[in-house]
């Protein structure tokens, strides 16, 4: 049997450019035997690198000093059986790349346009979850235009929520532009920051140091669920620095929680995945407020971090699925007719 030809797209224009390249290196190493893998790197400015420069970028871990451009032709021919868009954040995980691949008639790992777009946009995601009666923390939507034109009115509309508040751009991910506001002064600063980054903003009721639980989903219409993992860290919240600085956060798998809470996480993860029409893989994140015993759905990530030490592969490893086996399953799920 000939090996399936996999186009591995990585890099990209989001704050997770480097993580994506690191993930792709791991995938290339683990899947090089099973599949014929061609990595193609997208630079931070959105340029597609040539196959040759992509190899170099993977070797050095960045696109520094590399600029020979590939063309869309690199993608659009019959050279690949499946694409693994290992890209995070805007223009990677939000349905745009998925739309392009679909137009080109290519099969790909992960959610389709709709699931990717709904999973990426925090406001749309929350509306869809609400329509499915999934438990979420109260929040309000603020438009940049409203904030700039009538800040007093916006602040008044937020008085139904109590401090601390979390302010988030609707479409960024990796904690970029997210602030915890403890008073009105911080709220104003937080809204100013978020408004620089996005047209639409979420202001959410904050929990004080909730436990952060995560579940892996793997499959299409009848997905499997991983054990529950927990992220533990010392900082005030899981901000960009804590996420991407080596040694700042620990993964605990399985999370040390009651079996009933673990079961609830898995049930909710399944519902969240179906609600957005997820496919292939997703990591579903929760807040567990220990004092009240309440569990809240926080978000779904349709292309979670995928280095060998990332939560998603680690969750499956705990379930007996090795990193290499996980990639094989994902490629097969992408090839499966949906």
Ligand X SMILES: Nc1ncnc2c1ncn2[C@@H]1O[C@H](COP(=O)(O)OP(=O)(O)O)[C@@H](O)[C@H]1O
| Contacts to ligand X by CB under 6 A | 137, 166, 168, 173-175, 178, 204-207, 210, 212, 237-238, 285, 287, 298-299
Q: What are 162's strand-pairing partners?
A: none
What is the distance between the alpha carbons of residues 145 and 64, in angstroms, rounded to a whole number?
Answer: 37
Annotated catalytic sites, by residue?
A: 16, 174, 244, 283, 285, 299, 301, 305
Q: Hey, what are 31's tokens?
A: 């899947």
Residue-wise burial string across 205-238, b where 16 or more C-beta atoms lie within 10 A, e elsewhere:
bbbeebbbbbbbbbbeeebebbbbbbbeeeeebb
Least Å from the CB of residue 262 to ligand X: 19
Q: Are 187 and 181 in contact (CB under 8 A)?
A: yes
Which CB, 151 or 238, lies closer to ligand X?
Answer: 238
Could you tell me if 27 and 327 are in contact, meaning their C-beta atoms sit under 8 angstroms apart?
yes
For residue 41, give the nearest of 71, 12, 83, 72 by alpha carbon. 12
Closest CB to ligand X among residues 7, 207: 207
Nearer to ligand X, 157 or 205 (CB): 205
Report, in Å, the least distance between residue 160 CB and ligand X.
15
Q: Which residue has the tokens 């451009």?
A: 69
Pairing, β 211-219 against β 224-233:
antiparallel
The closest of 8, 65, 18 to 40, measured between CA atoms, is: 8
Smallest gap from residue 202 Cβ to ligand X (A): 8
Cβ proximity to ligand X: between 171 and 226 the closer is: 171
Pairing of strands 200-205, 165-169: antiparallel
Q: Retrieve residue 153's tokens.
A: 């009115």
Write down the least CB distance from residue 207 to ligand X, Å.
Answer: 4
* H helical segments located in 198-258: 240-244
Residue with Cβ nearer ligand X (106 or 165) = 165
β-partners of residue 42 are 11, 48
How near is the Cβ of 214 to ligand X at its closest, in Å?
10
């Amino acid at each position: 049997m000939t090996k399936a030809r996999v186009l591995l797209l990585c890099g990209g224009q989001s704050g997770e450019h480097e993580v994506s390249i690191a993930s792709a290196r791991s995938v290339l190493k683990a899947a090089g035997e099973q599949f014929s893998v061609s990595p193609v790197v997208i630079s931070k400015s959105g340029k597609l690198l040539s196959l040759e420069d992509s190899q170099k970028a993977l070797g050095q871990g960045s696109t520094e000093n590399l600029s020979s451009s590939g063309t869309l032709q690199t993608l659009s021919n019959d050279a690949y059986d499946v694409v693994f868009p290992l890209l995070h954040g805007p223009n990677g995980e939000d349905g745009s790349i998925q739309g392009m691949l679909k137009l080109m008639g290519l099969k790909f790992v992960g959610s389709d346009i709709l699931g990717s777009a709904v999973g990426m946009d925090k406001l749309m995601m929350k509306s869809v979850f609400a329509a499915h009666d999934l438990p979420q923390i109260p929040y309000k939507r603020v438009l940049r235009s409203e904030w700039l034109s009538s800040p007093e009115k916006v602040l008044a509309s937020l008085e139904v929520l109590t401090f601390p508040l979390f302010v988030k751009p609707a479409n960024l991910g990796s904690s970029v532009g997210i602030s915890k506001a403890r008073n009105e002064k911080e709220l104003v600063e937080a809204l100013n920051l978020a408004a620089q980054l996005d047209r639409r903003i979420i202001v959410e009721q904050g929990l004080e140091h909730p436990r952060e639980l995560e579940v892996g989903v793997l499959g299409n219409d009848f997905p499997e669920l991983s054990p529950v993992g927990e992220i533990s860290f010392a900082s005030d919240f899981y901000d960009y620095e804590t996420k991407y600085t080596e040694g700042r956060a620990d993964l605990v798998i399985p999370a040390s929680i009651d079996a009933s809470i673990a079961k609830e996480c898995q049930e909710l993860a399944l519902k969240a995945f179906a609600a957005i029409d997820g496919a292939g893989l997703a990591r579903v994140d929760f807040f567990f407020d220990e004092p009240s015993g309440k569990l809240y759905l926080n978000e779904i990530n349709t292309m979670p971090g995928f280095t060998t030490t990332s939560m998603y592969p680690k969750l499956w490893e705990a379930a007996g699925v090795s990193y290499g086996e996980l990639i094989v399953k994902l490629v097969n799920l992408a090839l499966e007719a949906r």
